[in-house]
Amino acid sequence: MDMRKYLRSFGYAFEGILMASKEQNMKSHVLSAIIVMLAGYFTGLSRIEWYIVLLLIALMLALEMINTAIERVVDLASPDIHPLAKQAKDIAAGAVLVFALFSAIIGLLIFLPKWF
């Protein structure tokens, strides 16, 4: 294994995280994550509940990054408007929405019993 190539790959990954962090949707997901973590801190979540919340946050951020990557690749491959390009982008965005909705439901199942 070439250690320099291996370490360089981390640099590329961090560069990707920085690029994604500039996207509007990623900013809203990060803000939501901060709010949820503050709510979790003040609510006094159990260790297992924290694991679930942090896993959902990590998966949401990763899925948004995958969606952004898919959008960029589609834009590169199909710079002109094309129905299949639109479908690919819409489906990827739909995957993010499905995960966000189910994450919110799980969050409500964790938080609501502690608040009421």
Over the chain, what is the mean pLDDT? 97
Instruction: Assess if residue 103 is contained within a domain.
Output: yes
Query: Helix or strand or coil: residue 20?
Result: helix
Determine whether 49 is an active site residue.
no
Tokens encoding 93: 């965005």
- CATH code of the domain covering residue 68: 1.10.287.3610
What is the phi/psi pair of residue 37, to 5°?
-65, -40
Is there a binding annotation on residue 114? Answer: no
Give the span between the Cα atoms of 78 and 92, in whole angstroms: 16
Instruction: Assess if residue 88 is contained within a domain.
Output: yes
pLDDT of 1 higher than 90? no
Write 32-36 long-range contacts (CB < 8 A, 24+). 33/57, 33/60, 33/61, 36/107
Is there a binding annotation on residue 12? Answer: yes
Instruction: Assess if residue 8 is contained within a domain.
Output: no
> Over the stretch 31-70, which tens digit does the pLDDT of each residue have?
999 999 999 999 999 999 999 999 999 999 999 999 999 9
Range of the structural domain that residue 43 is part of: 23-114
92 Cβ neighbours under 8 A, 6+ residues apart: 66, 67, 70, 71
Give pLDDT, residue 111: 98
Is there a binding annotation on residue 49? Answer: no
Integer distance in angstroms from the first to the last C-alpha of the chain? 55
Instruction: Assess if residue 17 is contained within a domain.
Output: no
Instruction: Assess if residue 11 is contained within a domain.
Output: no
Task: Say what the pTM is.
Answer: 0.92
Provide the number of structural domains found in the chain: 1
